[in-house]
Amino acid sequence: MGKTNESSLIPFINIKSYYFLLDMKNFNVKLRLEYFFLGLRDRIGIPFKPEEEINKIDIKQGQAILDFGCGIGSYTISVAKLVGEKGKVYALDRQPLALKKVEERAEKEGLHNIHTILSDGNTGLPDESIDIILLYGVLPEIEDKDFVLRELHRVLKPSGYLSTRYCFRMKKEKVLEIMGATNLYSLVEQKGHILNFKKK
């Protein structure tokens, strides 16, 4: 069997291509459809399994992690298991429906170290309090990227790093351009589609 790449799976993971199936006048219907396909991706691992991507990151027990734009918690749940009871995972999203799903999944898994934050930018977290920031799948959706990246820089520890992921919606070159424009981050490593940045 030939190697599968993300570009060949665009019709599957481009959620908006499925909106014609329902009456999209109801925004909650859009979200539920999107979350359904994200959940399907998480279960069958096409085009990737979030827990396998997380294993590419050096997450340790007791760390504080911010999952910015967490969605239904595809990464949140896996990370919460890795940091353990002494660690904390802050799951931030602008959609209450997404955070409700995260809370339901956390309860089902018996996880008590996940804290949800309803916001589209401000984290409300103390300065230099986060070990690792996950910025997966949301960078193309952020309107004020400069504001958000400055806020993430504020809460990131000097020894921490911001981890993002390029994909068909935003190529590697564009991610590097956006991160470089802030003059706040420097690329320290790449693992597959994952790019890890340190604070300057």
Euclidean distance between CA atoms 137 and 70, whole angstroms: 9
37-42 long-range contacts, CB within 8 A, separation 24+? 37/12, 37/13, 38/71, 38/72, 38/74, 39/72, 41/12, 41/13, 41/74, 42/72, 42/74
pLDDT of residue 158: 97
pLDDT of residue 25: 46
| Statement: residue 164 has pLDDT above 80 | yes
Instruction: State the chain's mean pLDDT as an integer.
Output: 82
| Statement: residue 21 has pLDDT above 60 | no
More reliable by pLDDT, 24 or 173: 173
> In which band, very low, low, confident or very high, does the pLDDT at 170 lie, cut at 50, 70 and 90?
confident
Average pLDDT in the 14-19 region?
39
Query: First CA to last CA across the chain, in angstroms?
Result: 43
Q: Which of 135, 67, 139 is nearest to 106 (CA)?
A: 67
C-alpha distances (whole Å) from 75 to each of 114, 144, 176, 194 are 12, 23, 22, 13
Is 97 in a helix, a strand, or coil? helix
| Statement: residue 14 has pLDDT above 50 | no
| Statement: residue 139 has pLDDT above 70 | yes
Across 5-87, the runs of DSSP E, i.e. the strands, are 64-68
Instruction: Give the pairing of strands 194-199 and 185-191.
Output: antiparallel
pLDDT of residue 15: 41
